[in-house]
Amino acid sequence: MPINVWLVASISFIWAGPVDWMAMSPGCGIPRRGARASNRQRNILMGAPETHSKETRPFPWFGLFILSALIFTSVTSEFLPTGLLPEIAAELKVTEGQVGLLISLFAGTVVVSAAPLAALTRRFSRKRLVIVVLLVFVVSNLLAAVAPTYEALAGARILSGLAHGLFWAVVGAYSAHLVPKKMIGRAVAITSGGGTAAFVLGVPLGTALGHVLGWRLAFAGIAAMILVLIVMAIRFLPPVKHIEELKTGEIALPLRKDRTIPGVVIICLTVVLILTGHNIFYTYIAPFLLGPGNIDEGAVAGILFLYGVGGAIGLVIAGAVTDRFPRAGLAVGIAVVAASVMVVGLFPHVTWLLIGAIFIWGIAFGGIPAILQTRLLHTASVRLRDVAAAYLTTSFNIAIGTGALIGAILLDWLTITALPFVDVGIVMLGFVFVLVGEAWLRRRNARLGIPTAR
C-alpha cells in the first residue's frame, strides 16, 4: 500500500484515538464485538450498496484511505515528467523545453475536458466510473512507457489528461457522498493527504526510480501501482448514491438553473486568484533560493522538502478546524501565506528567517486547497457536486499554468526579487475577493431562502 495511506492512517489515529483496527469492517471504522460479521458489515466489505443514512453510518476510514491512495498515484503521474526532463529529452532527441510542454499539454487537456466529461457521465455509477478512469490511467502510463517518439508520448499524456480531469470530477466529490455534511472537512483532509504525499514523496521517489532504472520504467511502475489499487477499489471502495431523488410532483431543473451555481463560481474564482499568485513565485522558488537567497545548490532540495512537511502539517490542521471554523480558517490561511511570502521577499539574505518563513508558508498554504474543496462541497447542491468538482480542478489547472506563465514574463521584464511581491499582491486580492464574495452570497441566499454554507 502506498506510503501516504500509512501517513494518513497515522493522522487519523491521532484524531480518532485508539481503535481496534483488526476488528474493524473495511469502510466502516467501528469495532465488532462478535466473532462473526453481520450481513450489513459483510455487504460493506464486498462493496454492496449501503442503504443506511450517512448520518448514522460509521465514518468510512478505509474507503477514504483508498481514495487518498488513488489521488497519490494520480498526482505523481501528472508531475512525473518534471523530474525526468533530461532523460526523456535525451532519449527522444528533443529539447527539455519541449518535454516541459508535456506538463502544459496535460493541464490544458484537463482544463478543456473536465467539466464536459463530468456532465456527460453525471448519471453513471461513481464507483464504476472510478474503475474505468483508473484503467485509462493504466493504459496511458503504459503507452508513455513504450512511446517510440515525442509525438507518441504527447498523445499518451493527452489521454492521461482526459482521465485526470474526469478522475478529479468524480473523486473530488466522492468523499462528500460518503459522509454527512458536518464531516466533509475531515473526509476531504484525509483524501487530500494523497496529493500532499505525492509532492513530498511520490514525485521525488518516481524521479529517483527514473534516474536509476530509466524514465520508461518509472511510468510502468505507476501503471503497476494503479493496477493494484484498482483491485483494492473494486473490493473495498464503498459505492455511493450521488443522484438526489426528486420528491413527489417535483420537476427536475437543468443544472444551469441550479441556485448554488453563484457560490461555486465564487469559490472557483478564489482558487484562480490565490493559486495564480502562489504559482507566480513558487514555480521559480529554486532559482530564487540559489540567487537572492544565496543557498547552496545541495540544500535546495532539503528546503523544498521542509516546505512539503509544512504542507502536511497544514493539511492536518485544516482537517481539524475546517468543519468548525470554515470561513475563519480560510481567511487566516490566506493572510499567513501573504505574510510569510512577504518575509521571504524582504529578507532573502537572512538564511534562518528565510527558511523559517518558507516552512510557515508551507503550513499555511498546505491546508488551503482542502479548505476550498470543502467549501465547494458544502456550497454546491448534491446534484451539482460532481460538475462543481470538475470546475474546481479546471480552476486549479488554469491557475497553475497562468501563474507559471506570468512568472516567466515577469522574469524577462523585472528581476526574480519582484516575484514574491507580485505573489503577495494577487493573494491579497484573493483575500478581499473572498470577504466581498462571501458577504454578497450570504445576502443573496438569505433573500432567496437558500441555506448558506458555514
Q: Is the pLDDT of residue 454 over 60?
A: no
Q: What φ, ψ does residue 98 adopt, rounded to 5°? A: -65, -40
pLDDT band at 250 (very low <50, low <70, confident <90, very high): very low
- Can you give the pTM of this predicted structure? 0.68
pLDDT averaged over every residue in the chain: 77
pLDDT at 329 over 90: no
CB 332 within 8 A of CB 326: no
Across residues 403-409, what is the average pLDDT?
82
Mean pLDDT calculated for residue range 75-86: 76
Q: What is the pLDDT of residue 37?
A: 41
What are 255-291's pLDDT values in tens digits? 566 777 888 899 999 999 999 999 888 878 878 888 8
Q: How confident is the model at residue 3 (pLDDT cuts 50, 70, 90)?
A: very low
Q: What is the pLDDT of residue 360?
A: 95
**Which whole-number Å values give the CA distances from 252 to 200, 246, 377, in the listed order?**
44, 7, 21
pLDDT digits (tens, 9 = 90+) for 356-398: 999 999 999 988 888 888 888 878 877 777 788 888 888 888 8
The winner for highest mean pLDDT among 25-34, 104-113, 114-123, 261-270 is: 261-270
pLDDT beyond 70 at 410: yes
- pLDDT score of 273: 93
For residue 140, what pLDDT is reported?
94
Residues of the chain with pLDDT > 70, as a percent, come to: 80
SS3 for the chain, per residue?
CCHHHHHHHHHHHHHHCCCCHHHECCCCCCECCCCCCCHHHHHHHCCCCCCCCCCCCCCCHHHHHHHHHHHHHHHHHHHHHHHCHHHHHHHHCCCHHHHHHHHHHHHHHHHHHHHHHHHHCCCCCHHHHHHHHHHHHHHHHHHHHHCCCHHHHHHHHHHHHHHHHHHHHHHHHHHHHHCCHHHHHHHHHHHHHHHHHHHHHHHHHHHHHHHHHCHHHHHHHHHHHHHHHHHHHHHHCCCCCCCCCCCCCCCCCCHHHCCCHHHHHHHHHHHHHHHHHHHHHHCCHHHHHHCCCCCCHHHHHHHHHHHHHHHHHHHHHHHHHCCCCHHHHHHHHHHHHHHHHHHHHHCCCCHHHHHHHHHHHHHHHHCHHHHHHHHHHHHCCHHHHHHHHHHHHHHHHHHHHHHHHHHHHHHHHCCHHHHHHHHHHHHHHHHHHHHHHHHHHHHHHHHHCCCCCC
- Closest-CA residue to 207 (of 218, 216, 217): 218
